[in-house]
Structure formats: structure tokens, C-alpha cells
Amino acid sequence: MLSGKRIVKRARKIVNEHPEYFEVLMEFERTKKLPKLSYKKRVNFTIDENIFRNFRNFCQKKGYKMSSKIERFMEKEIS
């Protein structure tokens, strides 16, 4: 069983790691409606055609979603 100090420490860690969850809870408290937790943003940028074609073929062969692979790459780069 966790002590009071450990619970508070763990709760603060969770809040720091996932502030979006608590923003959703605050919005629910205010509006009594549960907003979407995750939003997707459509982006438009230019990349080399050969790289795109090779990446698309790679993802198709492996059964990957291109957007998911790019999201993971971006998260890895910023962390």
C-alpha cells in the first residue's frame, strides 16, 4: 500500500507526464461534456518523391500505417 507522500508524488508525476488527461477532466467538470482526448491534425509538407515512394512501399509491405510511423519518429526526435 502506498503512503500519502508516495501517492502525492506519483500523482504529480502522472500529471506532469499526461497533462492532456487532466485538461479533459477539467473541461468535463466545467461543461459536463467529455471532449475528445486525442485530436489528429492534417498536415501538408513537401518531401522527396523517391523517399516518399520507398517509404510508402515499405509501410505497405510491413502492414504499417504511414502516419503512425511518422508520429513515432517525431515523438522520438523531440524526446
Is the same domain home to 29 and 46?
no
Structural domain boundaries enclosing 64: 40-79
Q: Does residue 5 register a pLDDT over 90?
A: no
Task: For Cα atoms 10, 15, 16, give the angle at the middle one, nearest 5 degrees.
Answer: 95
Q: What is the pLDDT of residues 18-46, one digit of tens each?
A: 887 788 888 888 898 877 766 777 889 99
Q: Does residue 1 register a pLDDT over 70?
A: no
Is the same domain home to 48 and 66?
yes
Q: What is the pLDDT of residues 39-68, one digit of tens each?
A: 777 889 999 999 999 999 999 999 999 999
Is the same domain home to 44 and 79?
yes
| Structural domain count of the chain | 2
Q: How many whole angstroms separate alpha carbon 67 and alpha carbon 48?
A: 16
User: 45, 56 in Cβ contact below 8 A?
Assistant: no
User: 28, 35 in Cβ contact below 8 A?
Assistant: yes
Task: For Cα atoms 60, 55, 63, give the angle at the middle one, nearest 5 degrees.
Answer: 20
Residue 56 pLDDT? 96
